[in-house]
Structures are given as structure tokens and as C-alpha cells.
Amino acid sequence: MLVQGRTWDVFDTPPELEPCPYTAAWQAFIAGDTAIGGKQYRKIAYHPINAAILFPWCGEFYLDTTTTVFPGFFLREDSLERKVWYLDNDPGSEEFVLFDFSLQVGDTLKYPSGLEYVIAEISDVTLANGTSRRQFKVSDFLWDNAYIEGIGYTYGPFNQVYYPFEGWEITTCVRDGDEVLYHNVEDCVQTPYPDTFAPPGSIWYYTQPVLNTPVEYTYTTIEVVGDTLIDGESWRIVQSGDELCSLHRGYLRQNNHLVYYRSAAPDATASLLYDFGLQAGESYITFAGGFPMTVTADSVGTSFISGQPLQTWYVHTDPPYWNGQIVEKAGHTGYLIPVYGGCDPLPGPVRCYFSDTLALKWVDYPCDTSFTLPTNEPDLSSGAYVFPNPFEDRLYIHIPDAKGFGPLVFELYDISGIRLIRHEMERTTTVVPVEIPALPPGVYCWKVIGKASGKVLKYP
């Protein structure tokens, strides 16, 4: 039963009339050995199982491997005697037999407290991995009140056998690594999402536009520079190479498949930045410039970056400041956090990401390259152009010889290729105004389908 690497998921059930079937949960595991009184015992530890939906505490459970609790007891077993002993951590405590797998029907399982349980039935049960184990059911109870070889007690794997009433513990899942040995009607809580986001030394390179003429493109970086404790929790320190950006200094913390961010402001609170368990059609709330933003996954797939297959979430946001892609291990391909109103002009898209174990490049030139791009001056021979450039909240599309040639389509894209505007217009005049919705300052790509395309700069 006490195999290194084996884990037990345990849920508490509440009294009747509660809104949810459970009130707390944890995963027990073996945390090494210790010698007590000349005998070798296994140390038992717990990781909490939390719920993404905090109230009511009803679902979307995940394992918090960043927190470890030692409940204060030890176990040992003898495979020849087929018994498991329990020893409390209190001084002067004596061990007792917790489970006896050698008993026969009619035998009695006895505890030091004086409680005794007659074995009413012994049967073979097939575990989830196809192996057969014996189940010892106690008498005088209508439910499956039993302990199982290799698994433990069905009402809490390390509890003494008892008669549960209003509230009790349930052993919902037993695993060896990823292999499920046992589960009840509930699904097993998902295995921990790998703690791979923002390890120490990670560095991101982003394009950084400079608002001048001609437009200059340089770069900015974000780097994980250390760890710190905030309210008893461990956070990664991230620092930007651009002191004008709101992410000049901030903090990241991964908890299973969720990644949280908080700024360095004294009154800052943590907000959910990424949900790497997000399914297509699902949403979560984050913050951009202090205002709530809904992130919705339109689809989930795999993208190949520098030859690496990486799970990718194709998202849109409301407000639409952070549309694009979120890539596992690297984050958003626009910028690490939504910083609308925090940087002027906004940085992005991502060029490169490096850690000790991963090297990703989205560009085919060196990550620290700077270059200039002339602004798009009117060219009457191009067939169409836009002005003014730079612009504020309105663009004008010049279309020579517009009359009598049917409709045209104007489209505006962000620098990462996400279409922001599609405007169909009748060619009844050579100049057509287009109102531009609230967009962050930066460089955008425009196209008049079948006629011309170019880049245009938006003022802050």
C-alpha cells in the first residue's frame, strides 16, 4: 500500500443541505521515510486541492503543489504479516494496526479506542488498471464501508474504519504517477500542470515602436530576475528593459494551470493572467490598465515555433486590446501582460523567448535588432492610399477614378496580423472617411482589397 510515488485524492463531504457535495479536498502522498523507535515509517504529506470557482466550492478542482501540509502521523507496513500500522506524532503515542489484510470473514478488526468491526464480506475487486485486489467490508452498514489492499479505506485512505453519518471523507482517486489505480464515481483531479512558466532567467524580446518619423523599431525585454515572498507566497520577479512601461517591475506566480500577475504598486492585488486549462469557448477575467478585460478562447490548437510543438490558445478580448495568441511556456504573442494605457507606444509583438530549456524565435533576424521604416506617404500611382499618416481617430481613403467601379473593401490589421476593421464602401467619391475605434497607439497595416496596402501610424 505504501508505495513511493502513490497518491490519494480525498474529499470532505458536508452536512446535508449544503450547495455543493464537498467542502475541502487534498491529495496525500508519501514524503519520504523516518526512523522512530528503531522502526522505519513512511511520512505522509498533503497538497491542497482547490477549486477555481471559489463560491460555491463546486468544481474545476486543481492541485496546489506549492503548498505542503504534514498531518502529523506516520505509517508502516509488513507485507509478510499483511498489516499496516499507524503511529501518531504525539509524544508517548503507540502504534496500532490500521488495516489487517490477513483477516477472514467473521474476524474482528480492533482499535485501541475499543472500537471493533467484524469483517462481513471479502470480495475481489478489479482496479482501474485491471489488477485484482481484495476488499474487506465491515458489517452493520448499508454502504460500501470497506478497505482495499493497496488502496486503503474508502472513507479516507488513512482513517480508522468507522460508520460515517452526516459528513465524512471519500477516497476518490488513487494513482501511481499518471496511472489511475482506483477511483469512485468522481473523476480524478487532473494531474498537476507542469510548473514551466517563467522559470528563473527567462527573457522575452518584444518589438518596441518609437513614435517619430520615419518610424523606428527597436526592442524591449522582460526578464525573470529573482524570487520574493509576498503575503507568504513565492512570486517570480519580472522586470522590463523599458522604464516607461507599466511592467518595469512586477511579479508572476504559477499555481497549477493558472498564472497570476501583480504589479509592484504598494496596494496592488493579484489578477489572473493566463489559464492554461482554458477550453475553446471558455473565458476568464484579467485586467488591462486597471480595467477588467474578458479573455475568450476562440479555439485551442498546436503551433510550431522554432520546431517546438506548443499548445496555443487563439483568443479575443473585450475590450479588444489583447487579441491574438497565447502560447504555453511563453505567454501572449503580443506582450506578456495587457498594458493598454501603461506604455506609450505599446510594445509588441514578441520576437523571441529564451529559458534554460527552451529557445523560441518568431522572427528571422537577431532578437536585439533595431531598424527604421519610412511612413507611408501618398503615392498617386498606387491606385489608393490613406491619410493622414500618422492619424488620430479617423482615416481617409483616396481612390482615384472612384465613380462607377462598384464597392471596395478596406481592412485594418494590427502588427501581428489580427484584422481589426473591415469596411465596405461604395466608390461614389475619390475620398472616403473611415472612423477608427479606440485603438492603442502604434503601427497598423491597412489594405484596400485588390488595390493597395501599406502601414499607418496612430498617435496616442
**C-alpha distances in Å from residue 189, one per residue of 63, 146, 431:** 7, 22, 60
pLDDT of residue 91: 85
- Given a cut of 70, whether residue 419 has pLDDT beyond it is yes
C-alpha cell at 245: 512601461
In 3D space, the residue among 13, 49, 14, 12 whose CA is nearest the CA of residue 28 turns out to be 49
- Given a cut of 50, whether residue 29 has pLDDT beyond it is yes
pLDDT in tens, 48-57: 888 766 666 6
pLDDT of residue 381: 45
* Gyration radius of the chain's alpha carbons: 31
Amino acid sitting at position 370? S
pLDDT of residue 314: 92
% of the chain at pLDDT higher than 70: 85
pLDDT of residue 201: 93
Taking the C-alpha atoms of residue 30 and residue 44, their distance in angstroms, rounded to an integer, is: 5
Taking the C-alpha atoms of residue 112 and residue 102, their distance in angstroms, rounded to an integer, is: 19
Taking the C-alpha atoms of residue 5 and residue 31, their distance in angstroms, rounded to an integer, is: 9
Spatial neighbors of 15 by CB under 8 A, at least 6 apart, are 166, 167
pLDDT in tens, 56-68: 666 678 788 778 8
Confidence tier at 44 by pLDDT (50, 70, 90): very high
CB-count burial class (<10 Å; 0-12, 13-18, 19+) for 185: exposed
pLDDT of residue 377: 43
Residue by residue, DSSP assigns 19-68 as: SSS-SEEEEEEEEEEEEETTEEEEEEEEEEEEESS-SS--S-EEE-TT--
Lowest mean pLDDT among 20-29, 251-260, 278-287: 20-29
C-alpha cell at 285: 477575467
pLDDT of residue 212: 62
Instruction: Count Cβ neighbours within 10 Å for each residue of 346-382 and write b for 16 or more, e otherwise.
Output: bbbbbbbbbbeebebbbeeeebeeeeeeeebeeeeee
Interval 244-255 mean pLDDT: 80
- Given a cut of 60, whether residue 373 has pLDDT beyond it is no
- Give the start-to-end residue ranges of the domains of the chain: 6-183, 203-372, 376-458
Taking the C-alpha atoms of residue 263 and residue 267, their distance in angstroms, rounded to an integer, is: 9
Select the more confidently predicted residue: 182 or 417. Answer: 182
Under 8 Å between Cβ of 206 and 220: yes
Confidence tier at 378 by pLDDT (50, 70, 90): very low
pLDDT in tens, 328-358: 999 999 899 987 655 667 788 899 999 999 9
pLDDT of residue 349: 86
Q: What does the DSSP 8-state code read for residue 430?
A: S
Taking the C-alpha atoms of residue 131 and residue 133, their distance in angstroms, rounded to an integer, is: 7
Taking the C-alpha atoms of residue 119 and residue 116, their distance in angstroms, rounded to an integer, is: 10
In 3D space, the residue among 90, 91, 74, 86 whose CA is nearest the CA of residue 31 turns out to be 74
Taking the C-alpha atoms of residue 319 and residue 443, their distance in angstroms, rounded to an integer, is: 19
Q: Which CATH number fits domain 376-458: 3.30.365.10, 2.60.40.3080, 3.30.70.270, 3.40.50.620?
A: 2.60.40.3080
C-alpha cell at 288: 488591462
- Intra-chain end-to-end CA distance of the chain, in Å: 65
Lowest mean pLDDT among 158-162, 278-282, 372-376, 431-435: 372-376
**C-alpha distances in Å from residue 435, one per residue of 41, 400, 415, 421, 426:** 73, 20, 19, 10, 15
- Given a cut of 50, whether residue 376 has pLDDT beyond it is no
